[in-house]
Every structure is written in structure tokens, then in C-alpha cells.
Amino acid sequence: MKTKEFDDLYRLIKNPLIPANLEQHIYKVARRLSASDDQPYDGGYWVSEKIGDGWFFSLNEERRWRVENPNNFSDVHIGSKAFSLAVFLIALSEFSIYLYQKGLMGALSDELAELHGNALSLASEVLTEDDYRAFCAVVD
């Protein structure tokens, strides 16, 4: 992986709007997945958190979230780290489809694919057993 944190994505491509759009998409996914929560996501401070050789974008807030994924009918309660990982992976998947449809495959899409694979394969090592089960229900 060529990046160590979110801001490094801006250095991979010449168009700064694309990483900015990814960041906004991450926030949209967080709002969508937490829409049924008593306090749905409505902004917060996100940080790049190391996982294996890569990183994921993590909401810097400790709480439990009610998460519903209408794409697979999951409805679970998970901690912030599991919520962040699920949001990050779903956003990367959806954004990669967008890049493909726009003909923007290249260094950024390759990096997003590596980040996705790395975070997905190591999620069980950074989440509690209960949160990992709930996380899997959301992203499967």
C-alpha cells in the first residue's frame, strides 16, 4: 500500500475532488447505516487508524450504534470501531464502482482495493468477538 492515512490519497491522483468525494461518501454511508439509531450519525471527527500494513478511516467516538444494512437485511448493535470499519468497507466498495463507471481506474482504485482487502482480512484481530460477528452481519 502506498498510503498511511486518508490525506495520502490526495497525492495519488491529480484531481483532489476525487478523494474529497470519497470522504463525503464515507459520511453518507455512516448516515445511511445509522439512520435507525436513536442518535444517527450527524458528523464527527474521523482519524486514520492503522490496521496491519494499511489503515482505515475511524470515527473517533466511543459508543454503540444501531446499524441496519438494507442490502442484506442486517440489524445489529456494534461499537464505534466496528461501525467505522463497516462504513469504510462499504464506502470503498461503492466508491470503487463509481470510479469504474467513470473510467477512473488507476492508482487510486488499486489503493482502495488493497485497503479494502487488508481491513477486511484483519477485522477479526481489532474487534471484540461480539463486534466482529455484528460487523460480519453488516458487511456480508
Cell numbers 494499511: residue: 54
Question: What interhelical angle do 129-139 and 80-101 show, nearest 10?
Answer: 30
- Domain boundaries along the sequence of the chain: 21-139
CATH 3.40.50.720 matches 21-139: no
Per-residue pLDDT of the chain (140 residues; tens, 9 = 90+): 999 999 999 998 888 999 999 999 999 999 999 999 999 999 999 999 999 999 999 999 999 999 998 888 999 999 999 999 999 999 999 999 999 999 988 899 999 999 999 999 999 999 999 999 999 999 98
DSSP letter (8 states) at residue 14? S
